[in-house]
C-alpha cells in the first residue's frame, strides 16, 4: 500500500514538474520570440518608410535593378537568419515538439507574407512604370479591340 502511495505521489510530482517546466519554457520562448518579432517589425517599418520615401525620388527610376534585390537580400535574409536561428537553437530540444512546430510554421508563414507583400508592391509599381511608358494611342486601340471581342462573345 505504501509503495503504491509513494509511486502515485512521485508520478503526480513528475507530471506537475513537467507541466510547470514546459509552461516556463514556453513562456521564455514566447518572450524571446515576441522581442525578436517586435525588433523585426520595427525594422520592417523602418525599411517600409525609407523605401517609400526613396520611391518618390531616385529609387523610382531604378526599380528593376535596385529595389527588388535590396528587398530580396536584406529582408528575407534577416527574417531567415533571426527567426530560424531562434527556432534551431537549444530551445528546440527543450520545448515540446508541438510548440516548436507551431512556432516554426508561424515564422515561415510570416516570412512568406512579407515576401508576398513586397512582391505585390513591386508588381504594382512596375505596372505603374510600364503604364507611364506605354503610348496612350496604342492602349486605347487595345482597349477598344478587347471591348469589341467581348461584345461578340455575348
How far apart CA 65 and CA 82 sit, in angstroms, is: 26
pLDDT at site 95: 53
pLDDT tens column, 98-111: 555 666 666 666 66
* Mean per-residue pLDDT, 76-80: 58
pLDDT tens column, 18-48: 666 666 666 666 666 666 666 666 666 666 6
72 touches 103 (CB < 8 A):
no
pLDDT at site 87: 54
Confidence band of 50 (pLDDT split at 50, 70, 90): low
* Residue 12 reports pLDDT greater than 60: yes
> 3-state secondary structure string, the chain?
CHHHHHHHHHHHHHHHHHHHHHHHHHHHHHHHHHHHHHHHHHHHHHHHHHHHHHHCCCCCCCHHHHHHHHHHHHHHHHHHHHHHHHHCCCHHHHCCHHHHHHHHHHHHHHHHHHHHHHHHHHHHHHHHHHHHHCCHHHHHHHHHHHHHHHHHHC
pLDDT at site 109: 67
* Mean per-residue pLDDT, 48-52: 60
* Mean per-residue pLDDT, 85-113: 60
pLDDT at site 41: 64
pLDDT at site 18: 64
How far apart CA 28 and CA 22 sit, in angstroms, is: 10
Query: Which cell goes with 107?
Result: 515564422
Q: In the chain, where are the structural domains located?
A: 2-153
pLDDT at site 54: 56
How far apart CA 41 and CA 49 sit, in angstroms, is: 12
Query: Which cell goes with 109?
Result: 508563414
Query: Which cell goes with 50?
Result: 525609407
User: What is the average pLDDT value for the chain, to the nearest integer?
Assistant: 60
126 touches 60 (CB < 8 A):
no
Amino acid at each position: 500500500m505504501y509503495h503504491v502511495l509513494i509511486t502515485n505521489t512521485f508520478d503526480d510530482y513528475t507530471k506537475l514538474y513537467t507541466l510547470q517546466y514546459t509552461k516556463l519554457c514556453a513562456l521564455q520562448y514566447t518572450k524571446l520570440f515576441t522581442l525578436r518579432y517586435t525588433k523585426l517589425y520595427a525594422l520592417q517599418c523602418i525599411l517600409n518608410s525609407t523605401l517609400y520615401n526613396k520611391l518618390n525620388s531616385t529609387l523610382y527610376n531604378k526599380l528593376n535593378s535596385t529595389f527588388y534585390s535590396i528587398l530580396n537580400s536584406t529582408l528575407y535574409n534577416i527574417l531567415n537568419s533571426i527567426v530560424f536561428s531562434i527556432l534551431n537553437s537549444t530551445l528546440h530540444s527543450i520545448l515540446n515538439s508541438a510548440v516548436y512546430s507551431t512556432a516554426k510554421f508561424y515564422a515561415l508563414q510570416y516570412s512568406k507574407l512579407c515576401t508576398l507583400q513586397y512582391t505585390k508592391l513591386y508588381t504594382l509599381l512596375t505596372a505603374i512604370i510600364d503604364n507611364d511608358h506605354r503610348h496612350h494611342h496604342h492602349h486605347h486601340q487595345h482597349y477598344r479591340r478587347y471591348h469589341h471581342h467581348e461584345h461578340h462573345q455575348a
